[in-house]
Structure 1
Amino acid sequence: MLYDLNIAWSPSTTQSELTQTLKFSASLGYNAVALNHLVEIFPPQPKNPLPRFPSQTSQSRPTTKSAASTNDSGNKEDKNAQQNQNQTGDDRSLPTVLHRATVCMSDPASVHRIPQLATLYDIVAVRPTTEKEFSHACQEVKIEVASLISLDLTQKFPFHFRPKPCMAAVSRGLRFEVCYGQTLRAGAGDPRTRAIWIGNLMELVRATRGRGIVVSSEARRVTELRGPADVVNLLAVWGLAAEKGMEGLGVNPRGVVVNEGINRRGYRGVVDIVQVAARDNGEGATAAAAGGNGKKRKGGANEGRGGGNSNAPPADGTISKRQAKKLKKLAMEDGGTTTPEENKS
């Protein structure tokens, strides 16, 4: 599966433009995309303004109901069923749509409020702009809070991407996002901006050795989308190997989506609790037979060997140390001189 985890969205984006972009993305081969909402100023009460698209599984149900109602009714219901089928066909041409929020870390006071977005969005990313914010994102931001470090490579950073913090972020499970749509927009306006983007990309690839990079488009319109093969070839020119480029479109973004889902649905980010297993009746019956109310009887092990009398020697002639002490004590109380070893012989 191929992923594009950054389709730019703004309040000025119309529904028709967004639908056209999603359909073209599906035609290029992308199976899942994420609508990105850039949060520059953290609101007091965050909300998710992104439009919602029905999933493919939910759209298959109205068609089934309409087909069933056609057998019971006449031409009117037949026409409704045809409309539902046409609508389902349009929705099937759309990829799986996720919701994402990218928080600009320009305000340090709003960093601790980032976990509030986890309940509203499927994916949460951070965008640092200074060296202090970049180091904080690489070494201190938890993977449960944000799993992507999105960088605007068109700006000239006042620092260099050093291998130590970058590899620390990759080893912790964070991923760096590279958006090729930024250089497409930059080249049309200012060639100098494209040169800055290429320089930042090459420096990031050297610092991470091509590991942990997620490739996205950040497309604002249809003309900024490119096919997977074109993207891989484009990045290979600037230092990112072809196999690393395919990982940035498939394996790495899939890991981000899966981990974000586990953090939201799982128990402590480990497992999904589907159903609590019922206790086996046979286990309770065995415990009750051994010692009443599920309690272990004191001499249960010896009773299984020697029958009901715990003092009687077992049938195979082997006795335990505990039973040997009991036999010796009984022999002393009876005044006899025999020992358990003699009784055994």
Structure 2
Amino acid sequence: MLYDLNIAWSPSTTQSDLTQTLRFSASLGYHAVALNHLIENVPPQPKNPLPRFPSQTSQSQPAKSAASTGDSDNSNSNKETQKTDDGDRLPTVLHRATVCMSDPAGVQRIPQLAALYDLVAVRPTTEKEFSHACQEVRIEVASLISLDLTQRFPFHFRPKPCMAAVSRGLRFEVCYGQTLRGGDPRARATWIGNLMELVRATRGRGIVVSSEARRVTELRGPADVVNLLAVWGLAADKGTEGLGVNPRGVVVNEGINRRGYRGVVDIVQVAAKDEEAGDKMEGIETAESQAQKGKAAAAGGNGKKRKGGANEGRGNGSGNVLPADGAVSKRQAKKLKKLAAQEGTATPEENKSS
């Protein structure tokens, strides 16, 4: 599955332009996209103004759509896409919020945004904010560090904080649409320089490739994106992971964090009992019960062991049972001799001697 986790949205975006962009992204092969709402200052009571589509879940449960997008790649394509009223094929649409870390109060309100959006990202602009995002922002709150690579940062991307963020599960977002917009050529050169520095600092690991497209003309196919980034230092295999494996991990982790509690997720479906396995178990139990009954009948019909067993023999006339082979232990012989003296009868040994 291919992901584009950044389709730029603003209140001025019309529904027709947005539908056209989503339709074109589906034709390029993207299975899931995220509408991105860039928030400069988070209000005390934030709301989700992003438009919803008919097949999306209710606003009270936004994370279920994120978790459903993380299903196996072998799932039916009908579950991965949705259709508009006129029958056009659209990718799965997620809701995302990107918070600028220049507002300290807005950073503290990020957990409130997590309950309203499927994905949450942070965008640092200074070295202090970048270090805080790499080492202190919890992955349960935000799992993406989105960077505007067209601006000149007053610091360098050092390997230590970058690799610390990657090892914690955070991902760095690179948006190729920023360099496709017409404008200052210096901004494009700055974007290329920042990308090469970020690739060196992270060794190409933990990078998510998105478009941040504001219009249809800023979208590119997956193969074109991989080749474009390979020219500027990102290996082809890392670029492919940035379009598939890495964003899928972000979507799945965000869905689990919203639907679960301390690693315990809800039960989606209870597995049905296999009838054939149940019949086999019943047959085994019946065979075991019949075998036990046969052993009980052979032992005397009452299911109890007999004390005599195989050595059970004849009586000596006084109510005492003697072994069938006539062998008597010394202790038993003394006991029989004593009983015979009391009753006036002879023991088997005396009868043999006589």
* TM-score (norm: length of structure 1): 0.69
Q: Is the counterpart of residue 137 in structure 1 residue 133 in structure 2?
A: yes
Q: Is the counterpart of residue 40 in structure 1 residue 36 in structure 2?
A: no
Query: Aligned residue for 2:223?
Result: 229
Pairwise CA distance, 1:222: 0.3
User: Could you tell me which amino acid in structure 1 is paired with residue 218 of structure 2?
Assistant: E
Q: Is the counterpart of residue 110 in structure 1 residue 117 in structure 2?
A: no
| 1:138–1:166 CA contact under 8 A, matched in 2 | yes
| Residues 270/195 of structure 1: CA separation in 2 closer, same or farther (3 Å cut) | farther
| 1:267–1:273 CA contact under 8 A, matched in 2 | no
Once the two structures are superposed, residues 220-260 of structure 1 have per-residue CA deviations (whole angstroms, 9 ceiling, x without a partner) of: 00000000000000000000000000000000000000000
Query: Aligned residue for 1:268?
Result: 262
Provide the rounded CA distance (Å) in 1 between the counterparts of 2:113 and 2:157.
28
Q: Is the counterpart of residue 162 in structure 1 residue 158 in structure 2?
A: yes
User: Could you tell me which amino acid in structure 2 is paired with residue 164 of structure 1?
Assistant: K
Query: Aligned residue for 1:202?
Result: 196
Provide the rounded CA distance (Å) in 1 between the counterparts of 2:153 and 2:40.
18
SS for the counterpart of 2:149 is coil
Larger of the two Rg values belongs to structure: 2
Pairwise CA distance, 1:56: 8.0
Once the two structures are superposed, residues 104-162 of structure 1 have per-residue CA deviations (whole angstroms, 9 ceiling, x without a partner) of: 00012221210000110000000000000000000000000000000000000000000
Pairwise CA distance, 1:57: 10
Provide the rounded CA distance (Å) in 2 between the counterparts of 1:178 and 1:275.
37
SS for the counterpart of 1:202 is helix
Provide the rounded CA distance (Å) in 1 between the counterparts of 2:84 and 2:205.
41
Once the two structures are superposed, residues 8-43 of structure 1 have per-residue CA deviations (whole angstroms, 9 ceiling, x without a partner) of: 000000000000000000000000000000000111
SS for the counterpart of 1:36 is strand
Which of residues 246, 249, 270 in structure 1 aligns to 2:243? 249
Structure that is richer in helix per residue? 1
Provide the rounded CA distance (Å) in 1 between the counterparts of 2:56 and 2:39.
29
Alignment: residue pair count: 256
Provide the rounded CA distance (Å) in 1 between the counterparts of 2:237 and 2:8.
26
Query: Aligned residue for 2:116?
Result: 120
Provide the rounded CA distance (Å) in 2 between the counterparts of 1:113 and 1:227.
36
| 2:99–2:106 CA contact under 8 A, matched in 1 | no
Structure 1 segments, 4+ long, off by >4 Å, are 86-89, 274-277
Once the two structures are superposed, residues 82-124 of structure 1 have per-residue CA deviations (whole angstroms, 9 ceiling, x without a partner) of: xxxx956625x00000000000000122212100001100000
| Residues 191/50 of structure 1: CA separation in 2 closer, same or farther (3 Å cut) | same
Structure 1 residues 166-181: aligned runs within 5 Å: 166-181=162-177
| 1:151–1:177 CA contact under 8 A, matched in 2 | yes
Provide the rounded CA distance (Å) in 2 between the counterparts of 1:203 and 1:274.
43
* Cα RMSD for the two superposed structures: 2.8
SS for the counterpart of 2:125 is coil
| 2:124–2:147 CA contact under 8 A, matched in 1 | yes
| Residues 270/232 of structure 1: CA separation in 2 closer, same or farther (3 Å cut) | farther
Pairwise CA distance, 1:55: 2.0
Provide the rounded CA distance (Å) in 2 between the counterparts of 1:241 and 1:125.
25
Provide the rounded CA distance (Å) in 1 between the counterparts of 2:171 and 2:84.
37
| Residues 46/172 of structure 1: CA separation in 2 closer, same or farther (3 Å cut) | same
Query: Aligned residue for 2:14?
Result: 14
SS for the counterpart of 1:132 is helix
For structure 2, list consecutive stretches of 5 or more residues without a partner in the other structure: 59-82, 272-306, 309-354
| 2:119–2:251 CA contact under 8 A, matched in 1 | yes
Provide the rounded CA distance (Å) in 2 between the counterparts of 1:272 and 1:171.
27
| 2:98–2:121 CA contact under 8 A, matched in 1 | yes
For structure 1, list consecutive stretches of 5 or more residues without a partner in the other structure: 59-85, 278-313, 316-345
Once the two structures are superposed, residues 269-288 of structure 1 have per-residue CA deviations (whole angstroms, 9 ceiling, x without a partner) of: 443344799xxxxxxxxxxx
User: Could you tell me which amino acid in structure 2 is paired with residue 212 of structure 1?
Assistant: G
| 2:118–2:254 CA contact under 8 A, matched in 1 | yes
Q: Is the counterpart of residue 90 in structure 1 residue 87 in structure 2?
A: yes
| 1:262–1:272 CA contact under 8 A, matched in 2 | no
| Residues 150/191 of structure 1: CA separation in 2 closer, same or farther (3 Å cut) | same
Percent identity between matched residues is: 90
| 1:147–1:173 CA contact under 8 A, matched in 2 | yes
User: Could you tell me which amino acid in structure 1 is paired with residue 128 of structure 2?
Assistant: K
Query: Aligned residue for 2:2?
Result: 2
User: Could you tell me which amino acid in structure 2 is paired with residue 90 of structure 1?
Assistant: G
